[in-house]
A and B are shown apart, each in its own frame.
Chain A
Amino acid sequence: MKLVRVLSRLVVLLAAAGAFVGLTAMYYDSSPHGPDSRDWPTPTDFAQWQAEIRHQPSAPEVGYFSEFAGTAIILAIFVWMGRMLFRLRLNPAPRNEGQLILLGLYETPQENPKPLATRATAVLALGILVITLSSHVATLRIGLVIVSSAAITLFLHAIRRNEL
């Protein structure tokens, strides 16, 4: 019974993957790639890349460990950026909703939460920095532009809330 359940779930997942494969094939048919595309500045660059990708090494080369380390660092940056973005209050409750009116007679010192504007500024700065550093990778740039756009939105939201 359990096996049937697992198999039926697998079938659903594979069907979804099949649909995605169809979408990928459609994308392939519709997108121009190669020397005519904007991704390839000159035919020389294209030829160089062509030679490199066609003759990749079969065996592992430990000398390129730094590439792996670099990728891990980029991943860590993405995680950090994501953490900063997702920790922000994306849908803050209205200020007066469900709050009691305090007279402040027994006020105790409280830790002030970090303003939204400060965090949004940090994310924005980080986004711009990473875009500058990785501007040679087209798709990475697109992804980072999306992240930075989200940061700009939060930044504007903070301005509207008079936190700046």
Chain B
Amino acid sequence: MKKHWRLRTTFWLDMALLVSVCVLQTVRFTGLVVHEWLGLAVIAMVLAHLLFSWSWIVTQSRRLFAKQTIRERVNYLLNFALFLFVTAAIFSGILISQKAIPTLTGTKASPDDMNLRWAVLHEEFATNVLLLAGLHVAVNWEWLLAATGNIFRRFRESAL
């Protein structure tokens, strides 16, 4: 029961993260307010995602210099790069924030004060996050299929 709760939480958290990555790419669709608050919410989601994957992180970090398959190495480097780019995208987003951060800090921000160099970098980091997120899903595809099957099978069983 506890294991299933964990699987269900991880699955829906990952789904929320995946949708958020897509939604955050389209500021005109969400508007700046939703974009910025969702970007801040992603911090909590990413931290929770990493905490749920803690055993994998520890195991793979310990085995980093040991003999590994190319697939394992690629996967580790991919996840490392994804964390790096997500951090960079969030950090640059905070620096150019017009709505959320000024609300939290009680300051006033004008669009004309925005640092455009950070804005350019924010777009670049976000594009890289999209690419790496796609590859991250591809590497974990089998887990995703198994988890989807498991969750919807239990959902059908409980509905009967």
A interface residue numbers (CB < 8 A to B):
6, 9-10, 13, 16-17, 20-21, 23-24, 27-28, 31, 33-34, 39, 50, 53-62, 64-65, 67-68, 71-72, 74-83, 85-86, 90-91, 137-140, 143-144
| CA–CA, A41 and B127, complex, Å | 20
**Is B29 a contact partner of A65 (Cβ separation < 8 A)?**
yes
User: What is the CA–CA distance of A65 and B29 in the complex, to the nearest angstrom?
Assistant: 6
Q: Which residues of B contact A39 (CB under 8 A)?
A: 120
In contact, A33 and B26 (Cβ under 8 angstroms): no
- In the complex, what distance in Å separates the CA atom of A28 from the CA atom of B69? 35
Tell me which of B18, B29, B83 has the highest count of chain A C-beta atoms within 10 A of its own C-beta: B29
Distance A122 CA – B33 CA, assembled complex (angstroms):
42
A31-B121 in contact (CB<8A)? yes
A160 to B141, CA, bound (A): 30
Cβ contacts under 8 Å, B121 to chain A: 24, 27-28, 31, 33
How many Å from the CB of A57 to the closest CB on chain B?
A: 5
Task: Evaluate contact between B91 and A24: CB separation under 8 angstroms.
Answer: yes
State whether B51 touches A68 (Cβ < 8 A).
no
Residue in B84, B111, B118 whose beta carbon sits within 8 Å of that of A54 in the complex:
B111
Further 9 A-B residue pairs, CB within 8 A, beyond A9-B54, A10-B51, A78-B138:
A6-B51, A13-B51, A21-B91, A58-B32, A61-B29, A77-B134, A90-B74, A137-B127, A144-B131
A54-B112, A82-B134 known; A140 and B127 CB under 8 Å? Answer: yes
Indicate whether A82 sits within 8 Å of B137 (C-beta atoms), given known contacts A20-B84, A60-B31.
Answer: yes
Say yes or no: B135 contacts A78, CB within 8 Å. yes
The smallest beta-carbon distance between A71 and chain B, in angstroms, is 4
Closest residue to A78 on the B side, CB-wise?
Answer: B134
CB <8 Å contact, A13 and B50:
yes
B119 with A68: CB separation less than 8 A: no
In the complex formed, the residue of A with least CB distance to B27 is: A56
Decide if A50 touches B116 in the complex (CB within 8 Å).
yes
User: CB-CB < 8 A to A50: which residues of B?
Assistant: 116
Q: Report chain A residues within 8 Å CB of B139.
A: 82, 86
Chain A neighbourhood of B27, CB < 8 A: 56-57
Closest B residue, CB atoms, query A31: B121
Is B25 interfacial (CB-CB < 8 Å)? yes
Asked if B10 is at the interface (CB within 8 A of a chain A CB), the reply is no
A61-B32 Cα distance, complex, nearest whole Å: 10
| Contact for A83 among B21, B47, B91, B141, CB less than 8 A | B141
The minimal Cβ–Cβ distance linking A144 to chain B, given in whole angstroms, is 8
Q: How far is the CB of A96 from chain B (nearest CB, A)?
A: 20
Contact yes or no, B70 A28, CB < 8 A: no
9 CB < 8 A contacts A-B? A20-B91, A24-B88, A59-B33, A61-B31, A78-B133, A78-B134, A79-B141, A81-B135, A139-B127
